[in-house]
Structure formats: structure tokens, C-alpha cells
Amino acid sequence: MRVTLVHPAGNNVVLGQPDFSVLANRMAPTGLLSLAAWLEQRGHASFVVDCLGPRAPVGTQAQTEKVLATDPELVGFSATTSGFLDAYDVARHIKRKRPHVKIMFGSVHPSSIGAPLLKQFPLIDYLCIGEGEGLMGEVADGMNLKDIGNLVWRDGDALVTNPRRERMRSLDDLPFPAYHKLEGFPRGYHLPLLSYIKRYGATMITSRGCPYSCSYCDRTVFERIYRYNSPDYVWDHMRRLRDEYGVHHINFYDDLFTANRKRVAELCELLLRKPLGMDYNCAIRVGHTDDELLRLLKRSGCLQVSMGVESADPGMMVRHKTGVTLEQVRDTVERVHAQGMRAKGMFIFGLPGETPATIRKTSDWIESMDFDEMNMTKFTPFHGAPIWEECVSGKEGSFHEDWRLMNCLNFVYIPRGFESREQMDHLYNQHLKRYYQSKAYIKRFRKRLWEHRWSIWHVLKNLPSFLAARRHFNPDAKRPTQAIF
């Protein structure tokens, strides 16, 4: 069977602003590349269309033509919440021109909602709930639909949800992602600015599942059973990216790279015995990373570790990020720096219970820390997250369920402690300005100017667009409320 896998453009903008998302970070769709390799291994012709890629067609019509040019029998869309409607627009055009082509939707949004999507969106033939490799292979093989686990489908007028299939236990059974199917890789893709020294960069995912239960996180795709690639597999994957594509920096995009200490230690030791000359970034869990492991991470090429904090208000942390304390975070940052690595703090603004006072507390605490980099996400409720029902109930805030805006770039949920979305935007921008214009951050930036030369070169090549983005970011232009910082 001929299968075309599509990464839809989606909506990656702040309301009222142009789309600058790919300027700062353009990631390869590694999940689709893995599916493409799996299908190819089973003898099926597979194609990948990245509508956010460097050579991507612009607009629904052009994207449809790009897909149809592959002459597909089955088209699979990987759909986040904010990308779902754009994907469906392309699917509608495909069905209009070639009604016989089957349409499948998978990834987080279909997995968390399930069969009701087929009722509301009649042009979709199948949904993939959870992992897609086994399901996609069996659909392409022509197996009887009722026997395919994880599949949601139509049997006449009835909607059928097949049982969940057993999760893939050995991720080493997966072929390496089919990077050769991606136009412009790796030069047209880039990691977040200032997060790497060597180029070119690529993203790898070496584990699935997470054993923790944060309130805001949807686990319906990979669930909570933690599985991972072996150190040998990861090393071979890194070597292939280096030798075949010239990649010299890896961003391990695992939910929690260090969840299995033994695996990570063995990988570090393997990289020390057989060095590849590559750097990498990864995520760690505060309070679960010892000095010996941090030392191994640094020696094996780790440049930066990220840690989820979410808020510096103790009450918010207990409610949304159990098992992490501010004292642990401060201690971890100090130990990361002692080993010569960079520390990045990850925060969320706008969770239920947030107020101007709690965000001020968080901003003040961040200023007191020595983070090398900081990311603050605008909270978006997602179907499947433990906190979803609380958000839609309206008890503690108002929620505008506009899927196109549910991209962690817009405040669609307004906790009752705030007057408006405009007030939240103002305080958010005010915090970012405070952080990035602080003496400590500017000093670090200047000190690392040469290390950041590839990021700076990328900015210079796209200077008009970056200047336009800066004009839209001005927290002092309007003051819907008194400044709190």
C-alpha cells in the first residue's frame, strides 16, 4: 500500500500576531519518520509531507496537491489539538478530489477524544488511539479491521472502538526514523535558539511513557508504562545522524530522559568509550539525579539539562507538580553548574489557582536563581489531562475551547484570579522582558557570544522577521493593570 504521512501546519501563533514559530525552533516530525520507516520495512511505499518544513507548501490547496502528488491510498495525519482543524481541511480537499483515498488521524488529540471525532468529522475513516506502528502496519497489510488493536473505525453507521493493543515492549525493534524522506533535513531544521553550540542539530526520542502524574499532562498516547531504547541502539542512532547527515547536536526530546538511571549511565559510559564528537541536551527530574550521574552526563557531551518546575508558589506546586520542592530545584541547579553544564527551568503560567501574586512569586524566584535559560508556557487544558474536567467545569476559571488557539501560545483558560486574557498577556510579557533584560542574563549571553554564533547567524539571516516579532512583543505598550514586577 502507498501511505503518505502528514505533519499539518496547524496554528502556531499568538492571537493577532504573524506566525514566527518556525523561526525560533523547527523540529523534524520524528514520530512520522519512525512510522514511515516501519512501513518501509514491511514493504509498503511511504512518504512524509511536513507542512511546517523548510520547503513546505503554503495553504490548504497547495498542501493537498503535495500530498496527492505521492499518489496515496492511505493518508495519515499526526494531529495535535491546534493542528487538528488544519489537517481536516486538507483531508476534506483530498476526499473531494479522490474519494477512494482513506484518511486516518492519530497522535494526542484523536487519542484523547476517540470515537466522537468520527461522528463530528465524517470524512475521517479511521482513528489511531495510542502507538501507531503496529496499527499502521496492519491496516496497510489489509488485515481485517475488527482485529486491529488501537483502531477506531466505522462499521456501516456504527462507530467501533477496538481494544487497546499491548504496548510495544522493545523499542529497539523500531527501525531508525526515515530521515531521508524529509525534504531539507537537517539544514532546514534547527533547535531552539541559543540551546546548542555545534551544528547541525536533530531531535531524538529514546523512550516512551512517563511514571509521573502531573495535573496538566495528557498520557493517552504512550501512557505511564516507561519503555526505552537500549544504550547501543541510541549510540547507533546518534552515529547514523552524524555520519549520514552531519548532525553534531542532539536534543533528546524524551518526557524524562533520566527516568532509568542504569540506562543513562550505560549510555554515557558508551559515549566515553566510543566518542562521537556530539553534544546533547536532555530533561532530568529534580531530586532524582545524583552527582555521579551528572558528572557522566557532562563528560559524555551533555551541554544543557532541563527541569520542570512549573511554579514557585508552594501551593501551586503541591497542586500541579507533586514531589518537587524549590529547595530541591535550587540544589539541583547548583550541582548541575558544579559539573559545568547549563540548567534550564521550565514553567507554566495560568494553571488553575494562578493569580497575579503567584506569578509574581514565580518571577521573583526565577530572578533569584541562576538559570542559564528559562521557558514559560501559557497553560492550555488538553483532553486527556487529569485537570481537564476541572477546567471545563468553570469552577475556578473560564475556558474558551477553541482548538486552533490551544497551542500553549494563547491563554484560553482564565483563572478567576485574573480580570482578562489581556491582563495575563501583559504580565506574561512583562516577566519575559524582566528575565531576558536582566543583568545576569545579558552577562551570560555576552560571555557565550562566540558559542552562540550559529544561532546569531540564523537570526541575522531572518532579521526582518525577528524584528517584526519584536515589534509585537511590547509589554509596556498597553497596561491593562498596574505593573507588578
Select from 159, 157, 81, 155 the least CA-distant residue to 113: 81
Phi, psi of 418 (to 5 degrees): -115, 155
Q: Which CATH class is domain 2-161?
A: alpha beta
Residue 241 burial class via C-beta count within 10 angstroms: exposed 0-12, middle 13-18, buried 19 and up: buried
Cross-strand partners of 464: none
Dmax of the chain from CA atoms? 65
User: Cα–Cα distances in Å, from 425 out to 352, 376, 466?
Assistant: 16, 12, 20
pLDDT at residue 239, rounded to an integer: 98
User: Radius of gyration over alpha carbons of the chain, in Å?
Assistant: 22
- Give the pLDDT of the chain (485 residues) as one tens digit per residue: 999 999 999 876 666 666 667 778 899 999 999 999 999 999 999 999 999 999 899 899 999 999 999 999 999 999 999 999 999 999 999 999 999 999 999 999 999 999 999 999 999 999 999 889 999 999 999 999 999 999 999 999 999 999 998 888 899 999 999 999 999 999 999 999 999 999 999 999 999 887 777 778 876 766 668 899 999 999 999 999 999 999 999 999 998 899 899 999 999 999 999 999 999 999 998 888 899 999 999 999 999 999 999 999 999 998 888 788 999 999 999 999 999 999 999 999 999 999 999 999 999 999 999 999 999 999 999 998 889 999 999 999 999 999 999 999 999 999 999 999 999 999 999 999 999 999 999 999 999 999 999 999 988 988 887 777 666 655 555 554 455 55
- Determine the pLDDT at residue 23: 77
Q: What is the DSSP string of 125-155?
A: -EEE-S--HHHHHHHHHT--GGG-TTEEEEE
pLDDT of 481 reads 46
Backbone angles phi, psi at 47, to 5 degrees: -140, 150
Domain 191-472: top CATH class: alpha beta
Confidence at residue 169, expressed as pLDDT on a 0 to 100 scale: 83
State the pLDDT at residue 296.
97
CA 455 to chain centre: 20
**Which three three-digit cell numbers place residue 3?**
501511505
Sheet of 279-284, strands arranged across: 201-204, 249-252, 279-284, 302-310, 342-349, 373-378
In this structure, are strands 151-155 and 126-128 parallel, antiparallel, or unpaired? antiparallel
3-class DSSP state for residue 261?
Answer: helix
Q: What is the pLDDT, as a whole number, of residue 480?
A: 47
The confidence score (pLDDT) of residue 25 equals 87
For 88, the 3-state DSSP assignment is: helix
pLDDT at 318: 87
With 0-12 / 13-18 / 19 or more C-beta atoms within 10 angstroms meaning exposed / middle / buried, residue 156 is exposed
Span(s) in the chain for CATH 3.80.30.20: 191-472
CA distance 352 to 461: 40
Q: Give pLDDT, residue 255.
A: 85
Which residues of the chain does CATH 3.40.50.280 include?
2-161
Report if pTM > 0.75: yes
How many distinct helices (H) and strands (E) make up the chain? 18, 17
Query: Mapping DSSP to helix (H, G, I), strand (E, B) and coil, where does residue 311 land?
Result: coil
